[in-house]
Amino acid sequence: MNIAKASIYSFVSTVVKMLSGLIINKAISIFVGPSGLALIGQLQNASGIIQTVSSGGIANGIIKYTAENKSRNETWSTGLRITLIFSMLSTIILLLFSKELSQLIFHTIEYQFVILILGLMITLFSLNQFVLSIITGLGDLRLYTIINIIQSFYSLILTVTLIYLYSINGALIAMVTNQSIVFFIVLYKIRSNKDIKLNMFKNAFNKNESLKLFSFSVMTLVSALSLPLSLLIIRNYIGNHLSWDYAGYWQAMIYLSSMYLLIITTLLSTYYLPTLSKIKNQKELYAEIRKAYIFLMPIVITAAIVIFYSKGIIISLLFDEKFTVMEELFKWQLIGDVIKVCSCLLSYIILAKAMTRVFIITEIISASMLALLSIQFIDNFGFVGLSYAYAVSNFIYFFIILVVIAWFFISKRGENE
């Protein structure tokens, strides 16, 4: 499958997910307001960390080694056991320390029940992510697209219903349950899949396979911890030094960026990562990267320009009049998004080639820069400083990744990996 065809599947899946997300976001804006959106952002970042830990952080490893078509039975069997162990440990911790975690995430024990529900559902979520990683590694983008469309519709109906009935409580409950319940739909969809059979998960735990997967665990866990922690720090700083409404406006901008970039990020994880993982020849690797830049960057730049000149309409459609304050963030946030995609197209080489140490260092540097610059720029420029910090941190990160990848190609010149 080439990048153009893969992009079509990614586009269809993402448009449905995006429309679902935008309707959900509109409902949150109307029924919950800016401060509620900030609260939801806190849960999103915290649950992202928890969910990554509960799955063992092996998703990208499963994708890579499934795509390479080597020892699939051993990889899948070992991966399943790792997922079950980590998710069950996470359940125990969440149930035992629900009050403390509620206080840490929300600054109140009022939402302890959300942590308890998350603890009960986390194993289903982890198994769902595990199976989706296998489907991605197999390159079955058609099945992946169908599952994501079903998940988007289910999430839309559940979330809007719960928000209407229970306001902020409903939104939080929906966030920690929807993906877990979809696991049963995923099982139904793969019941007759010729590439995924139950007996392929019955091999004994393989130490060598676990070590390969754990190298991805380290990378994934660092990534899952660093950026969400950075966002939590920034959001708390905004809330304490500006207001929690401003934290909600900033959260809305972050959400908007993630939504329109979803087509690109989905394509990178479902097509680009498996493709780079399979390539061994340096010339072929360079050609694939070049092709990705030529195909994707004009799309990203065009989308950023359209969004900038439509920002008033977008705010009106997706949020409400209270969110017009966020208009001042658009220019440099969108510039930062374009630079971010430039960086991602290179940083996925680090992930695909399992360059663990380099990945960890660059992720920590990136997240730290964003937090430190955001705090500094809020003090110096006010609310708009958040967008300056985002653009500058992404530019510095791009330069670092560019140097790393240049070194990678120079060191591998003339070699076939």
pLDDT of 341 > 80? The answer is yes
pLDDT of 409 > 60? The answer is yes
The larger pLDDT score, comparing residue 77 to residue 148, is at 77
The larger pLDDT score, comparing residue 389 to residue 26, is at 389
pLDDT of 380 > 80? The answer is yes
Q: What is the pTM of this model?
A: 0.69
Tell me the average pLDDT across 255-276: 78
In the chain, the percentage of residues whose pLDDT exceeds 90 is 25
Tell me the average pLDDT across 80-98: 93
pLDDT of 273 > 90? The answer is no
| Model pLDDT, residue 2 | 53
Tell me the average pLDDT across 133-141: 83
| Model pLDDT, residue 301 | 92
Residue 417's contacts (CB-CB under 8 Å, 6 or more residues apart) are: 280, 281, 282, 353
Residue 82's nearest CA partner among 59, 48, 115 is 59
In degrees, rounded to 5, the angle at the alpha carbon of residue 348 between the alpha carbons of residues 298 and 17 is 65
How far apart are the C-alpha atoms of 148 and 153, rounded to whole Å?
9
> Nearest 5°: phi and psi at 416?
-110, 120
Tell me the average pLDDT across 34-58: 80
Tell me the average pLDDT across 324-351: 89
Residue 125's nearest CA partner among 79, 197, 186 is 186
pLDDT of 322 > 80? The answer is no
> Nearest 5°: phi and psi at 381?
-120, -5
> What are the tens digits of pLDDT across the range 61-75?
888 788 776 667 888
| Model pLDDT, residue 390 | 94
> What are the tens digits of pLDDT across the range 344-369?
888 888 877 767 788 888 888 989 99
| Model pLDDT, residue 302 | 92
The larger pLDDT score, comparing residue 34 to residue 56, is at 56
How far apart are the C-alpha atoms of 411 and 129, rounded to whole Å?
35
Residue 138's contacts (CB-CB under 8 Å, 6 or more residues apart) are: 66, 67, 195, 196
In the chain, the percentage of residues whose pLDDT exceeds 70 is 94
| Model pLDDT, residue 288 | 84
**Would you state the structure tokens that stand for residue 202, as one six-digit string?**
């019955």
Q: Which residue is listed with tokens 């990744």?
A: 401
pLDDT of 1 > 90? The answer is no
pLDDT of 417 > 50? The answer is no
Alpha helix segments (H runs only) across 190-281: 207-241, 244-260, 262-267, 273-278
Q: If pLDDT is split at 50, 70 and 90, which confidence band does 9 have?
A: low
Q: Is the dihedral of CA 157, 163, 166, 168 positive or negative?
A: positive
| Model pLDDT, residue 89 | 93
Rg (alpha carbons) of the chain, rounded to whole number: 21
pLDDT of 182 > 60? The answer is yes
| Model pLDDT, residue 7 | 61
The average confidence (pLDDT) of the chain is: 84
* Minimum mean pLDDT range among 12-16, 163-167, 203-207: 12-16
Q: If pLDDT is split at 50, 70 and 90, which confidence band does 26 have?
A: confident
* Minimum mean pLDDT range among 103-112, 114-123, 161-170, 259-268: 259-268
How far apart are the C-alpha atoms of 204 and 192, rounded to whole Å?
24
Q: How many residues does the chain have?
A: 417
> Nearest 5°: phi and psi at 204?
-70, 160
